[in-house]
Amino acid sequence: MRKFEKPRIVSSKCIEFESCRYNGLIIKSNMVKNLKKHAEFYPVCPEVEIGLGIPRDPVRIVGKEGKPQMIQPTTGKNLTKKMNEFSNSFLKHLDDVDGFILKNRSPSCGIKNVKRYYGIKNTGSIRDGVGLFAQMVKEKFPDLPLEDEGRLRNLIIRENFLTRIFTLAEFRKIKESGTFNDLVEFQSRNKFLLLSYHQEHMRSMGRLLSNANKPLESIKKQYGKLLLQTLSGNPKITSNINVLMHFLGYFSGDLSTEEKSFFLENLQRYREGRIPLLVNLNLIKSWIIRFGEEYLDKQTFFQPYPKDMMQITFIYDKMDK
């Protein structure tokens, strides 16, 4: 059974950790709640950290696009400098982390669609803002997984986020104390997962490992940059189909015409969005067991994150709607 490294996640403290929202409430998130046993969390409430109480008068983003100010309308206080100073200090002293889960639409933590007001007392606004803390996260950690608890209700976004944080956590362990052979094995286990994200980057990572004469730390650094670039996007349906066709190639000589046809029919249904990827993966896994294909059995593509999180992905997706 695969043992997963625990991702290190910075999260808004109000999401499943503490009742510290401006109104004294806590935000419920099934995904965060169940991720707690698999990850190391670093909860933070930037607004409390700069001296605002619980509960507190709300703050808002005010001003022109590109020059946001954090204002507390009831007091007229401009908290921009305090928030920026805290954000810079907190993020500067972080140990290696693997991702962020922040409060959606918050004037401090919102990663997108935050209300930006035209004035301190003005009620007119547009949802094109970013929270001040979240903006600094984007600037200092541009390639790390960053989501809010609202977007994580979406099945595809959630699966991608989980895949990225657990893959990065595994690499972080290798970066800290792994050997060159550990890095080669990591590349081998993740070959098809990386292929589903970016074929050319995956090949570049393989070529980098073909030269064992370079200093190990230099290789790890270059490999880490390529890994972040590879995982920065979302796998496309066409990329997943490409991976599935690679898998079919391993068994095509052992399968009947009827079995191949059934697989290809399911592949077309997946392409059309009529069935999830999991249906085809389970079919491939049945062949792995049947034919004893050890190399494919070790591929992280089939289980990029813990099984109970995979079950939660499908069960809670219906509950969250």
pLDDT band at 2 (very low <50, low <70, confident <90, very high): confident
Q: What is the pLDDT of residue 257?
A: 96
Tens digit of each residue's pLDDT (9 = 90 or more) over 287-304? 999 999 999 999 999 999
Residue 314: is its pLDDT beyond 60? no
Q: What is the mean pLDDT of residues 198-216?
A: 92
Residue 320: is its pLDDT beyond 50? no
Residue 319: is its pLDDT beyond 70? no
Residue 256: is its pLDDT beyond 90? yes
Going by C-alpha positions, the residue among 152, 61, 144, 55 that lies closest to residue 96 is: 144
Q: What is the mean pLDDT of residues 103-110?
A: 97
Q: What is the mean pLDDT of residues 273-286?
A: 90
Q: What is the pLDDT of residue 278?
A: 85
pLDDT band at 1 (very low <50, low <70, confident <90, very high): low
Task: Please state, in angstroms and as integers, the Cα–Cα distance from residue 61 to each residue in 82, 85, 226, following that order.
Answer: 14, 17, 35
Residue 232: is its pLDDT beyond 70? yes
> Can you tell me the distance from the alpha carbon of 66 to that of 29, in angstroms, rounded to the nearest whole number?
31
Q: What is the mean pLDDT of residues 81-104?
A: 96
Q: Is 227 helix (H, G, I), strand (E, B) or coil?
A: helix
Q: What is the mean pLDDT of residues 115-126?
A: 87
Q: What is the pLDDT of residue 302?
A: 93
Question: Phi/psi of residue 15, each to 5°?
Answer: -95, 95
Q: What is the mean pLDDT of residues 122-150?
A: 94
> Can you tell me the distance from the alpha carbon of 44 to that of 40, in angstroms, rounded to the nearest whole number?
13
Q: What is the pLDDT of residue 312?
A: 45
Sorted by where each begins, the domain ranges of the chain are 8-153, 163-321
The residues near 181 (Cβ < 8 Å, ≥ 6 apart) are none
Question: Phi/psi of residue 126, each to 5°?
Answer: -140, 140
Tens digit of each residue's pLDDT (9 = 90 or more) over 37-73? 999 999 999 999 999 999 999 999 999 877 899 999 9
Q: What is the mean pLDDT of residues 223-227?
A: 97
Residue 239: is its pLDDT beyond 60? yes
Residue 316: is its pLDDT beyond 80? no
Q: What is the mean pLDDT of residues 101-129?
A: 92
pLDDT band at 317 (very low <50, low <70, confident <90, very high): very low
Please, what is the average pLDDT of the chain? 93
For residue 116, list its beta bridge partners. Answer: 61, 126
